[in-house]
Amino acid sequence: MARGGTCCKYLVLDPLNDSSCGMRFPHWLLAAFGCASITSHLHGAETVDYEGARYHLYRVDRADWPRLQLAWLDENDKPLGDLNGLRTQLNSRKKQIVFATNAGIFERGPKPCGLTICAGRELVPLSLRDGEGNFYLKPNGVFYLDDQTGPGVMEAEEFEKSGLKPRLATQSGPLMVRNGVIHPAFNVNSPNRRLRNAVGVRKKDGQIIFAMSDRDDSVKGRVTSHQLTRFFLHLGCQDALYLDGDISSMLVDPKPDAVLTPNTFAAMFFVAE
């Protein structure tokens, strides 16, 4: 188990060698750990095929920026833990999940490895440390949203100097693309294909786009980091941030009684009603 400065967390998979911390997890073991959130929970998602891959998307337009939330802790400042914990909290408030997905990379706790701002409250400070694993594949970055100035994705050091005080923010890594420039470590011919998810901001109108490759299709749903980045560029996002790999999950309009496979997450994005 990684902890502290390594931030490999439980199941981090390096986009270059698929083994950030020297740990290798076969796909059957990932499923046993509860990483098989089935595609039937995505019946409300937009599905797009591009360059031989299949992705599920959820878009947040300008009018809906205030609806997007980020949560890590419950009312007692204890980690929600997973999507089941998030749903339980929302149900206690007479609300249901419209959309939910994991945010940035985390360590033991589960605790986010870097900057985490929920409802304007900074719960974890920005991390500029060096280390091993996806989170530290520099440049890493921050996705943020301020309802007045809008969303954005930028390098962590850039964010530190910006003076921004957004309503929500998550730090993760690597920063896939910034101002249209793809991360220098990404190899267009990489053989490392995994399930991956990320968030980007469309340049022309500030639309926030969450995308996850398909879990159930072992061919179309396994993509390289470069391939996922090209998809975000195709969508019009000049800036996009990697969120996580094989453990990633996404819910879009799940049925109220849907059985959610137990998993482990730190912060989670969601829209509720």
Once rounded to an integer, what is the mean pLDDT over residues 9-26? 37
For position 42, what pLDDT does the model report? 67
Tokens matching residue 41:
């929970």
Name the residue ranges covered by the structural domains of the chain. Answer: 27-272
- 262 confidence band (pLDDT: 50, 70, 90): confident
pLDDT tops 90 at residue 148? no
- 257 confidence band (pLDDT: 50, 70, 90): confident
Is 91 or 45 the better-scoring residue by pLDDT?
A: 91
pTM for this model (two decimals): 0.87
For position 12, what pLDDT does the model report? 34
Name the phi and psi angles at 121, rounded to 5. -105, 120
- 39 confidence band (pLDDT: 50, 70, 90): very low
For position 256, what pLDDT does the model report? 84
For position 13, what pLDDT does the model report? 37
- Output the average pLDDT for the chain: 87
- Rg of the chain, C-alpha, whole Å: 17
Cα–Cα dist 90/74, whole Å: 10
For position 173, what pLDDT does the model report? 98
Residue in 240, 19, 269 with CA at minimum distance from that of residue 140? 240
Please tell me which of 9-18, 30-39, 212-221 the model is most confident about, judged by mean pLDDT: 212-221
